[in-house]
Amino acid sequence: MADWSYIPQVLVSGLGIGCVYGLIGIGFCVIYNASGIVNFAQGAFVMLGGMITHVLLARHGVPLPLAALIAIAAVALLGVAIERIVVRPLWNRKATMFVMILATLAAQIVIERLTLIAVGDQPKTLPVFTDRPPLMLGNVAVGYQFLWIVGGSLTIVGLLAAFFSLTRTGKAMRACSINREAAALQGIPVSRMLALAFALSAALGAIAGILITPTQYTAFNVGVPFAISGFIAAIVGGFGRPFGAFLGGLLLGLLQALAIVVFGAGLKNVAALSVLLLFLFIRPSGILGAAK
Amino acid sequence: MSPSVAAAPTTAASSPILSTTGLSASYGHARALHEVDIRVGEGELVAVLGPNGAGKSTLLRALLGLVANSGEVRFRGASLPRQNAVAVASRGIVLVPEGRGIFGPMSVADNLELGAYRLHDKAEFARRRERVLTLFPRLKERLGQVAGSMSGGEQQMLAIGRALMAGPQILLLDEPSLGLAPRVTGEILETLGLLNREGLAIVLVEQKAPLALKLANRVYLLSLGRIAAELDPRDITSHDDLAQHYFA
């Protein structure tokens, strides 16, 4: 029998991981909206965010904030490189969605293996950003890293909302997702917008990875599970809807956390994939309704 | 070719702003445009008429490079890239596509702003916007409204307004009257006539010939993907004249 007194505590941690899933889910949406491509290399961005920060910090003594910024920039550049080297040539040849998914999955595996060669298979972690004992709200412990995750994610979501609704570049990216041909007719450089979408999406993944690593660990192979959770978040929110994906992430995080209490930790992925199947069967357009 | 060509009061021969030589286009293996030669003079309003499926839209899409094409398109004497709509549009060759292509979920103001995507001069931006809102006062009342929620006529006005925000050198329109009430169509065509009198070169593709004939300096008749005739609208005094050309 489960111990129900843990539930508030479990929900807090579910909310934290949910924010991370949400950020990854937004990454899926940003690329999908710009191109119709589902980018399964998304998990590699998450893994590398934490990993590069760890390497800079632990091996080169770079201070954490600087290490994190360098990691985010490096991963964003890698996103552009994947767009140029893997996606663009296929896109120009009008490759099918199926080919794109396989190609990005291949990129994911290549990055994963290169990371294994570079840093080995041992799990790595990052120090928490603020090293203080958790705040106690009643008998619920709220760690400072949780506050970083939630605050950081909400800040990112707010900045993204401002970018897409206030800046001309953000509006142009939306225009490309609404009608790429009409966007081209306005002189909007649609292919540069695709590269930008990859950069943005990669940076989001890296940020998610950096935020979550102190509470868990990172290793060469954590990318795929994160990508799957982010993908589920995007499906649940209504694919192509960035803010739906964030909500989807929160929902998934909470459900997973509850599943751990009720069924035990071993079944947390079963719960997540069940959510995916349930939505695909019953409401494939997600809670907000899929874009387009 | 029609004998009326010689009489056409056109400056096109001297200084075409846009001209094509042997422009062909195809969708997959289906060829939709065959070796079309047209020219548009500075400040001219050229109408392209023809029955459904004659290749009118394809001609405009080939000019922009939106469809696989071969042949040459020259703009002010320089050859245009053939498969790059962004590059063509950036030179001020602005197409208002069939179905309008407005960004439905975005506001009217955002749609107008995106028309001027490449313009960074704030004063010029404000000037163009003021001009568009003067030409289409109805847009002014709806700046904050979601574009897709407007009537078809208002959406067409927005599509043209957005095109004008780009500061076009030449404006191409694909059936702006499609699906609109006659009164709204009249309003829109009147505005196009005004813009043309101010010196803007316009290519107007239309299925409703009488509307276009009122405005045009010169008319191309397109049939089965080929230019069937080039006419002076003043020579077409009745429907029968035109029908003759359609079915010649």
DSSP-assigned letters across all residues of B149-177: GS-HHHHHHHHHHHHHHT--SEEEEE-TT
Q: Looking at residue B9, what DSSP letter applies?
A: -
pLDDT score, position B243? 66
- Residues of B in Cβ contact (< 8 Å) with A188: 86, 114, 117
pLDDT score, position A174? 92
The residues with which B19 forms a beta bridge, in sequence order, are: B39, B74
Cβ of B86 within 8 Å of Cβ of A181? The answer is no
pLDDT digits (tens, 9 = 90+) for B212-223: 888 899 999 998
A20-45: average pLDDT: 92
- CATH of B1-92+171-177+200-248, picked from 3.10.150.10, 3.40.50.410, 3.40.50.300, 3.40.50.1370, is 3.40.50.300
Coil, strand or helix at B103:
coil
Of chain B, the percentage scoring pLDDT greater than 70 comes to 90
Say whether residue B98 is in contact with chain A using an 8 A CB cutoff.
Answer: no
The residues with which B228 forms a beta bridge, in sequence order, are: none
Cβ of B89 within 8 Å of Cβ of A181? The answer is no
- Residues of B in Cβ contact (< 8 Å) with A178: 103-106
Cβ of A171 within 8 Å of Cβ of B66? The answer is no
d(Cα A79, Cα A85) in Å, to the nearest integer?
A: 10
Q: How far, in whole angstroms, is CA A65 from its chain's centroid?
A: 20
What is the distance in angstroms between the Cα of A16 and the nearest Cα belonging to chain B? 32
pLDDT score, position A288? 72
Nearest residue of B to residue A177 by CA position?
A: B103
CA nearest neighbour of B245 among A220, B232, A281: B232
Nearest residue of B to residue A189 by CA position?
A: B86
Q: Which two tokens stand for residue A53?
A: 């920060």
pLDDT score, position A278? 84
d(Cα B164, Cα B161) in Å, to the nearest integer?
A: 5
d(Cα A1, Cα A3) in Å, to the nearest integer?
A: 7
Say whether residue A195 is in contact with chain B using an 8 A CB cutoff.
Answer: no
Domain boundaries, chain A: 4-282
Q: pTM here?
A: 0.88
pLDDT score, position A292? 47
pLDDT digits (tens, 9 = 90+) for A197-246: 999 999 999 999 999 999 988 999 999 999 999 999 998 888 878 889 99
Q: Which residues contact B149 (CB under 8 A, 6 or more apart)?
A: none
Q: How far, in whole angstroms, is CA A285 from its chain's centroid?
A: 20
CA-based end-to-end distance of chain B: 11
Say whether residue A168 is in contact with chain B using an 8 A CB cutoff.
Answer: yes
pLDDT of B91 over the 50 cut: yes
> Could you give the residue range(s) of every CATH 3.40.50.300 domain in chain B?
1-92+171-177+200-248
* Max Cα distance, chain A (Å): 63
d(Cα B223, Cα B206) in Å, to the nearest integer?
A: 13
The residues with which A141 forms a beta bridge, in sequence order, are: A136
Residue whose token pair is 């079309």:
B36
- Residues of A in Cβ contact (< 8 Å) with B89: 184-187
B172-195: average pLDDT: 93
Report the mean per-residue pLDDT for chain A.
90
DSSP string computed for A258-274 = HHHHHH-GGGHHHHHHH
pLDDT score, position A290? 64
pLDDT digits (tens, 9 = 90+) for A171-207: 999 999 899 999 999 999 999 999 999 999 999 999 9
Instruction: Give me the residue from A175, A181, A189 closest to B114, CB to CB.
Output: A175
Size of interface A-B (CB pairs under 8 A): 60
pLDDT score, position B3? 39
Cβ of B89 within 8 Å of Cβ of A186? The answer is yes
**Contacting B residues, span 2-61, partner chain A, CB-CB under 8 Å:** none
pLDDT score, position B2? 40
Say whether residue A187 is in contact with chain B using an 8 A CB cutoff.
Answer: yes
Cβ atoms within 10 Å, residue B13: 9
What is the distance in angstroms between the Cα of A288 and the nearest Cα belonging to chain B? 15
Q: Looking at residue A133, what DSSP letter applies?
A: P
Nearest residue of A to residue B109 by CA position?
A: A171
Q: Bigger pLDDT: B244 or B45?
A: B45
Q: How confident is the model at residue B29 (pLDDT cuts 50, 70, 90)?
A: confident
Phi/psi for B227 (5° steps) reads -75, 115
Report the mean per-residue pLDDT for chain B.
89
**Contacting A residues, span 216-275, partner chain B, CB-CB under 8 Å:** none
Q: How confident is the model at residue B103 (pLDDT cuts 50, 70, 90)?
A: very high
pLDDT digits (tens, 9 = 90+) for B123-168: 999 999 999 999 999 999 999 999 999 999 999 999 999 999 999 9
A213 sits in which H/E element:
none
Q: How confident is the model at residue A274 (pLDDT cuts 50, 70, 90)?
A: confident
CA nearest neighbour of A51 among A205, A208, A219, A215: A219
- Strand runs labelled E in A93-201: 135-137, 140-142
Write down how long chain A is: 292
pLDDT score, position B240? 63
Distances (CA, A) of A22 to A169, A231, A276, B15: 23, 9, 14, 58
User: According to CATH, what is the number of the domain A4-282?
Assistant: 1.10.3470
